[in-house]
Structure 1
Amino acid sequence: MNKPVVIAEDAVAVPTVTSTTGQISAGPTYVVLGSISFSHFLNDTMQSLIPSVYPILKDNYALDFAQIGLITLVFQITASLLQPLVGIVTDKKPMPYSLAAGMGFTFFGLLLISVAHHYYVILLAAALVGLGSAVFHPESARIARLASGGRFGFAQSVFQVGGNFGSAMGPVLAALIVVPFGQPSLAWFSLIAALAIVILWRIGNWYKPRIVPRKAAQLVRDPHAPSTSRIAMAIAILIVLVFSKYFYMASIGSYYTFYLIHKFGVSTQSAQLYLFLFLGAVAAGTFFGGPIGDRIGRRYVIWASILGALPFTLLLPHADLMWSAVLSVIIGFIMASAMPAIMVYAQELLPHRFGMISGLFFGFAFGAGGIGAAVFGEVADRMGIDFVYAICAFLPAIGLLAVFLPNLKRSVQA
């Protein structure tokens, strides 16, 4: 039996992980981390195609901004409401092949949206893609932690950066394929879902023999660990911080192309490439956020990454096209570094509820983005797209709440 190790917020110890063959591994299982990150890349590439084709759907079906926001809301709410439930279920009974099965919903969702000729069919297709996301994220985050070798922030960054690069690829693929060839070309992307199903099935084969029965797991509380009330307060603060981050990110993800087209008169394809710059910066920020948190403490990364974006978000509504691109890259990099740190920090608050915590925070991130998209759609219809970016600029100020997060010390089973 492995010895419990103390996981400290400011000096994380790297545990020794024993494989099922009895061999000792002191570091991450890179093949598994790479595979789950690549699967995340494929998953989020397909998800990002939905907002990337909004200009096409808006023109084809004469949709207003509120209807565009509702598509995002349906997709995000489907994912956000089900992710914590999936996490709770898999905490009690891990399902190694559920990831491959869940990807099937994304497969059918893409096929459906490629042939949809009615607004409500588009909503149903978005819901199916959201359902696939709900099944994917909680258990894949657990697999990333299992393959981390104790470098939890690093593993979470590798996992999440795959998703961020996938989100960045969506606009590029939309500009190169969907815009020239139209809505039916989305059917070709179902082949990506088929590839992801194969990879996730093989990951399930690796995961299955490593499942430890819940009754065999040990949790040893450090005497200086936060009380239940402080843990509850910390979880609430983290949720509010995720809300502010993804509420702002929704304004970029769903409406940045419209903002650039409206304010600077760029083409749809050019606007998609500017969106790619922002999403690429998000991917880079995600990659560095986790390892930095492993070294200096996750609380400091959370503080700096959300509040640190405030000066740049305040400048963005007043910038010209070139500086809008530069500022969007800076904002995306800084804000994205928070999520790996938030996820691992929350997992260490409740180390026996990894699936629930992963589902809750990924799900809440999706939900906050969906609500933000719907709200900003209504605001844009009434007040204009420029007004949306003027009020969003102040959202990172909520990062001041990070000062109330406690330091963590906890012993968990490696």
Structure 2
Amino acid sequence: MASSVAQTRTAASTAAVLPVLLSISLIHMMNDSMQAVIPAMYPILEKTLDLSYAQVGWIGFMLNMTSSVMQPAVGAYSDKRSRSNLLPIAMSLSLLGMVGIAFAPSFWYVLFAVMFIGFGSAIFHPEGSRVVYFAAGSKRGFAQSVFQVGGNAGSSLAPLMTVFIFVPLGQSGAIWGTLLAAFAIAVSFGLLPWYKSKLAEWELKRSDAASPDGSTVFTVANHPRVKFAMGVLVFLVFARSWYHSGISSYYQFFLQEHYGLTVQQAQIPVFLFLAAGVLGTYFGGVLADRFGLRNMIVFSISGAAPFSLILPHLPLFWVYPLITVLGFVVLSGFSVAVVYAQFLMPAKVGMASGLTTGLAFGMGAIGAVVLGKAADVFGLQPVMWFCSVLPLCGLFAMLLPSDRPKI
């Protein structure tokens, strides 16, 4: 009887807390939807406030600097002084930003409002990843994938918001974004009691020498092997982000130039790449729980290399199926990289998440600028050839320490 009770408790402790995962994924969708408002409103703001293209670029730069590049710093701070109410605080900052954009009379007011949305996102992502870490049980890959799919779904709403809200209503239509923020605040308040109790437990266990699933980890962030592994992981995340930016931003122009497609026709392969990436993000986490985090990272990046290398040289007919497979494979390691960083740094979950998500998005945005400048100077074809070799960097994943328990 005692053994049966112990087994039941062990199973309960390793089971994922699905209601919490769905709730934090829903908040993630609201958060990334508010971020998607900014690029969706570019054409509206450009006309309403008579902005130059350079000013539009500065708006995007400010959003990326505050929401993405600052995440590691915010994560490091929250690791030391984590507070359960950071989730509603983050969404409240985004709410203020949405109000500011709706009524901004000039460029500088828009820039200030965008900072609030960026700071809200920079606070949310490390804290949201910490909630996922607590709720995952032994299904860390699955849990992070559920969380990330919510964000991907929110980002994909930008074109729909432009068509159905911002074009008919103009700049003031941004006020509808406050409904997203209010809903996210309400859901985050519902999570507070559970999250507060988990934070208290975590503070007692964070100095333990093993992760909750019993696998061997290095709990000291400045351990030489941790530093090396995190360096390799961040490099791999950068390479993937640059490749993703190259395909999502410039492959459509390559299709027009190389195959003679119209603007509308060129959107189809890019859409297939992004849509398959959403599925890859989810299934990659599920497969990582079975086959290992490092193994999935190796597969997701280096496994995409054969497809990426031949993509610029294919007949148009073969572009559609191959780019679909490519999107699935290359994004299958997206959420896995976050979980692996948390495996390396279990006492610094916020910083680990910030390095692999926030900083990666920021570097992806910088990569898009660099690749665009290179396309202006050298042409699109050399840039596509350069992008096609980036997944070969995934071979460096073989240098990462194994995350599987030693038997």
* TM bucket, shorter chain: 0.7 to 0.9
Percent identical pairs in the alignment equals 40
- Equivalent position of 1:265 in the other structure: 262
In structure 1, C-alpha distance between the alignment counterparts of 2:27 and 2:145, rounded to whole Å? 14
- Equivalent position of 1:47 in the other structure: 35
- Equivalent position of 1:399 in the other structure: 394
The 5 Å alignment of 1:240-319 reads: 240-255=235-250, 264-267=261-264, 276-318=271-313
Change (3 A) 1:97 1:321: farther
* Residue 354 of structure 1, aligned match among 349, 362, 383: 349
TM-score (ref. length: structure 1): 0.81
In structure 2, C-alpha distance between the alignment counterparts of 1:26 and 1:214, rounded to whole Å? 15
Deviations 1:295-331 (A, max 9, x none): 0111111011112222333344456777555444333
Change (3 A) 1:377 1:352: same
User: By how many angstroms is 1:71 displaced?
Assistant: 3.7
Q: Relative to structure 2, which stretch is displaced further, 255-264 or 213-222?
A: 255-264
Q: What amino acid maps onto 1:265 in structure 2?
A: T
- Equivalent position of 2:77 in the other structure: 89
- Equivalent position of 1:113 in the other structure: 101
In structure 1, C-alpha distance between the alignment counterparts of 2:243 and 2:57, rounded to whole Å? 14
User: By how many angstroms is 1:383 displaced?
Assistant: 4.7
Deviations 1:47-92 (A, max 9, x none): 233334556666775754x765544332222123431222222222
Deviations 1:265-295 (A, max 9, x none): 325xx77776554433222111111111110
- Equivalent position of 2:4 in the other structure: none
Q: What amino acid maps onto 1:373 in structure 2?
A: A
- Equivalent position of 2:333 in the other structure: 338
TM-score (ref. length: structure 2): 0.82
* Residue 220 of structure 1, aligned match among 188, 209, 215: 209
In structure 2, C-alpha distance between the alignment counterparts of 1:109 and 1:341, rounded to whole Å? 31
Residues 253 and 275 in structure 1, CA contact (< 8 A), matched pair in contact too: yes
Taking only aligned residues, the RMSD between alpha carbons, in angstroms, comes to 3.4
* Residue 235 of structure 1, aligned match among 226, 230, 233: 230
Residues 87 and 139 in structure 1, CA contact (< 8 A), matched pair in contact too: yes
Q: What amino acid maps onto 1:150 in structure 2?
A: S
- Equivalent position of 2:181 in the other structure: 193
Residues 164 and 286 in structure 1, CA contact (< 8 A), matched pair in contact too: no
Residues 45 and 170 in structure 1, CA contact (< 8 A), matched pair in contact too: yes
User: By how many angstroms is 1:354 displaced?
Assistant: 1.2
Residues 39 and 60 in structure 2, CA contact (< 8 A), matched pair in contact too: yes
Indicate whether 1:367 and 2:356 are aligned. no
SS of equivalent to 1:234? helix
Residues 15 and 26 in structure 1, CA contact (< 8 A), matched pair in contact too: no
Residues 33 and 155 in structure 2, CA contact (< 8 A), matched pair in contact too: yes
Q: What amino acid maps onto 1:144 in structure 2?
A: V
Change (3 A) 1:243 1:43: same
Q: What amino acid maps onto 1:196 in structure 2?
A: A
Indicate whether 1:159 and 2:159 are aligned. no
Matched residue count:
390
Change (3 A) 1:193 1:324: farther
- Equivalent position of 1:21 in the other structure: none
In structure 1, C-alpha distance between the alignment counterparts of 2:403 and 2:188, rounded to whole Å? 33
Q: 5+ unaligned residues in a row in structure 1: which ranges?
A: 1-13, 19-23
Residues 34 and 177 in structure 2, CA contact (< 8 A), matched pair in contact too: yes
- Equivalent position of 1:99 in the other structure: 87
Change (3 A) 1:306 1:180: farther
Q: Relative to structure 2, which stretch is displaced further, 45-54 or 252-261?
A: 252-261
Change (3 A) 1:260 1:294: same
